[in-house]
Structure 1
Amino acid sequence: MSLVIPLHRHHLSEEIAATASHEVVETLAQQLAATAVERDRAGGHAARERDLIRQSGLLTLTIPVAHGGQGGDWSSMYRVMRRLAEVDSALAHLFGFHHLQLAGVRLYGTPEQQASLLRDTVVQGWFWGNALNPLDRRLRATAVDGGYLLQGVKSFASGSVGSDQLTISAWHEPTQSLLIGVVPTHREGVRVQADWDAFGQKQTDSGSVTFDDVLIADHEVLQAPGTPPSPKATLRSQVAQLVLANLYLGIGLGAFNEARRYSREEARPWFAAQVDRAVDDPFVQRRYADLWLLLRPAAALADSAGALLDQAFRRGDALSDAERGEVAIAVAEAKVLAHRAGLEVSSQLFELTGARSTSARHGFDRFWRNVRVHTLHDPVDYKLRDIGRHVLTGAWPEPTAYS
């Protein structure tokens, strides 16, 4: 069982040494951990902690060196995010979604747009937010001279509160398609509402954003309405789905590590076990093994999917439909196992740690609440359908915003 920490931290120290120092990541993780229970209880906007992430330099991790960033690959970002999710999944969510918006710039934007937006992210220290929820078509785009006017609302806008830039999608009625673009959060007519009130992931700043006749200029449009997406462009959904998988996995690892520490240091053995320490109870040992065997394959598949995603990014415009499909299946597999591991570990930990572990001072319930809310992002059954259909017929998942 001593392998649980080396599993991800060993990879962290080896795989991201060239882009983000292990010490920087660990320092940030400990800073977030120090107030995680208290902040989870309070909810609201974690401005100080967002500044800690900004000051760490990790917001530039996936920005290419040519644009002033660290040039890290997606595997590196996911491992950093997974580590942060162990201690604070809400702030890890913000970190992951920031890099997801940067992925959109790289996948949809022209070379000129990428150069401008990515370099300004480095120079200005921008923290990106999301207003791209593709299922919410209440935000409409109307063509005008020089761009489009945006009118309406976007929900589930993760990271919008306190952000500097927003990636947006808006429905264009004439073409029956989405416009995707970038709007500064503080532009006139943009109003961010901190109305997120779920029982988990409380500090993800996932409120709603209202746009009241907001102009988005042509040069801010990353994908014009009616533009058929290339296989490369459709990788954004895979970046997003693997963000979710690694968040679930990080929560599961965090719950496991906290439960293990409690079992070692505080738990009392059940009298019928006739042992002096809870960790010597064979039933406790067996249950920990079961949980470990949920986490270990989930981590292996998440890492494998990350490596495939990196390969697909390097293929760029040459990426084929089949290569894109391979990534989608790998990500679906990783997400299903991470989904199961996160829910099971965060729930079963109480059966291993006992009644005293439910004290509010420990905050162990946050792991289950956070992963339960987050795993509802999109139905896992459709990931299982995609996997099963591929196994039976060889068909690849249809490229959508979720697959």
Structure 2
Amino acid sequence: MRSTFVMPVDPASMHVSSAASQSASPFEIARALAATFAASAAERDARGGTPKAERDALRESGLLRLSIPVEFGGLGARWRETLDIIRLLGRADSSLGHVFGFHHLMLATVRLFGSAAQASTLYGQTARHSWFWGNALNPLDTRTVSTTHAEWREFSGQKSFCSGTVDSEMLIASAHDAQTGSLLVAAIPTGRSGVCVAHDWDNIGQRQTDSGSVTFQRVRVERHELLSDPGPLSTPFACLRPVLAQLILTNIYLGIGESAFGDARQYTLHESRPWYVANVERAEDDPYILGQYGEFWVGLESARALADRAAERFDAAWDQGATLGETERGEVALAVATAKVAAIEAGLAICTRMFDVAGARATHGGLRLDRHWRNLRTHSLHDPLAYKLREIGEWALKQQYPTPSFYS
């Protein structure tokens, strides 16, 4: 990865200013943006909707090019570095970490499911035009079907949980073949005729991810837009796509847990009052509170170590490309599944128990500290934790790797 690139950040306006141009690393730029995003996260959580100004700030920052190879105009970051920045942004605002992470997942989908020529073209155009990618690939949603015409396909139907589609330039979209039932995946412009992106996301958490629905009304998909060489989950390397998706989620969950820990710590140190029978002058000296913070820290440190190990293993698998074998793929899938479980369990514990260490006043509505639990609870239901533990158990007991699917 190149160590620096030119992109000044004005934290007050979140816009690039040529007059204030300075050399900064991607992590430094992400840190400046994260500070700005965090300052308005609670207010924007209350408002919901599309974080347009923040998405534009990510466009102008150059970070949408982060995972694109240098030869195509990108920054050439390894996945460990990209995931660190996803976690950093997720710590500031999990909605923005979510759409930023999914943007890079969509780009990776082009590389994993499509041809080298498709990746070269779409990477280059994304880097030049600062395209933001959205997700309309939901393999469990069979309402969108594809019919065949002479030289093209036609997608019709609806997709749900389409994160980041509002205010995106490109989509990864899926449909099931009307005759064979096989899954087709394509990269198409969001603004194409017949693509209708709805503003209908109103869930309790991740409120600014625009994870609502997209309707396809006889959308024309050209042959060269189908990612069919090698195609979805067709090789061990192509099967890294769901592993990367799980690893991105893991780092978002970690960011939420770290954010909840930081907010709880700030409140305990500066606002909380000791319980009257504790016989201490400050809440921070209460041994029961100290014990809970110790548990929080162990959970976070364990999840961080597992997530970082999984990221390193993923990079090693990614480097193998088409030579990646099923065993190597299975090893990284297992590492990611383990990290994901740890991040969810540690995060939910902190997001729930943070009020035990902060006190009753921390439930004031204006603080919106409940957003951490709402965000993690909403997003961690992406696939059931019990089935993730079952996969890990199959390895622990029977030495069976997770079976490749879009969720493992």
TM-score bracket for the superposition, by shorter chain length: over 0.9
- Please list the CA deviations of residues 111-141 of structure 1 after superposition, one character each: whole Å capped at 9, or x if unmatched: 1111110000011110000000100011111
In structure 1, stretches of 5+ residues that fail to align are: 1-14
2:367 is aligned to: 362
Partners of 1:226 and 1:34 lie apart in 2 by: 42
Cα displacement (A) at 1:56: 1.4
1:80 is aligned to: 85
What count of residue pairs does the alignment treat as equivalent?
389
2:348 is aligned to: 343
Q: How does 1:2-401 map to 2 (within 5 A)?
A: 20-223=25-228, 229-401=234-406
Quick check: 1:179–1:225 contact (8 Å CA) kept in 2? no
Say which SS state the counterpart of residue 218 (structure 2) adopts: strand
Cα displacement (A) at 1:223: 2.0
Cα displacement (A) at 1:228: 6.5
1:6 is aligned to: none
Partners of 1:211 and 1:228 lie apart in 2 by: 24
Structure 1 208/225 Cα, relative in aligned 2: closer, same or farther at 3 Å? farther
Partners of 1:43 and 1:199 lie apart in 2 by: 10
Tell which deviates more after alignment, 181-190 or 17-26. 17-26
Partners of 1:172 and 1:303 lie apart in 2 by: 38
- Please list the CA deviations of residues 96-125 of structure 1 after superposition, one character each: whole Å capped at 9, or x if unmatched: 000000110111121111111000001111
Cα displacement (A) at 1:23: 2.0
Structure 1 or 2: larger helix share? Answer: 1
Give, as a single letter, the amino acid of the residue that structure 2 aligns with 1:214: V
Partners of 2:166 and 2:143 lie apart in 1 by: 19
- Please list the CA deviations of residues 143-192 of structure 1 after superposition, one character each: whole Å capped at 9, or x if unmatched: 11222011111111000111100001110133321001111000011100
Structure 1 130/272 Cα, relative in aligned 2: closer, same or farther at 3 Å? same
Structure 1 179/286 Cα, relative in aligned 2: closer, same or farther at 3 Å? same
Quick check: 1:178–1:225 contact (8 Å CA) kept in 2? no
Quick check: 1:177–1:226 contact (8 Å CA) kept in 2? no
Partners of 1:147 and 1:386 lie apart in 2 by: 39
Please report the TM-score for the alignment, with normalisation by the length of structure 1: 0.94
- Please list the CA deviations of residues 274-327 of structure 1 after superposition, one character each: whole Å capped at 9, or x if unmatched: 212111111111110011111110010000001111111100000000000001
Say which SS state the counterpart of residue 284 (structure 2) adopts: helix
In structure 2, stretches of 5+ residues that fail to align are: 6-24
User: What fraction of aligned residue pairs are identical, expressed as a percent?
Assistant: 48
Quick check: 1:82–1:247 contact (8 Å CA) kept in 2? yes
Partners of 1:226 and 1:184 lie apart in 2 by: 19
Quick check: 2:317–2:329 contact (8 Å CA) kept in 1? yes
Give, as a single letter, the amino acid of the residue that structure 2 aligns with 1:122: A
Give, as a single letter, the amino acid of the residue that structure 2 aligns with 1:109: G
Give, as a single letter, the amino acid of the residue that structure 2 aligns with 1:379: P
Say which SS state the counterpart of residue 274 (structure 1) adopts: coil
Structure 1 354/185 Cα, relative in aligned 2: closer, same or farther at 3 Å? same
Cα displacement (A) at 1:224: 6.9
Give, as a single letter, the amino acid of the residue that structure 2 aligns with 1:329: L
Quick check: 2:231–2:238 contact (8 Å CA) kept in 1? no
Partners of 2:143 and 2:214 lie apart in 1 by: 11
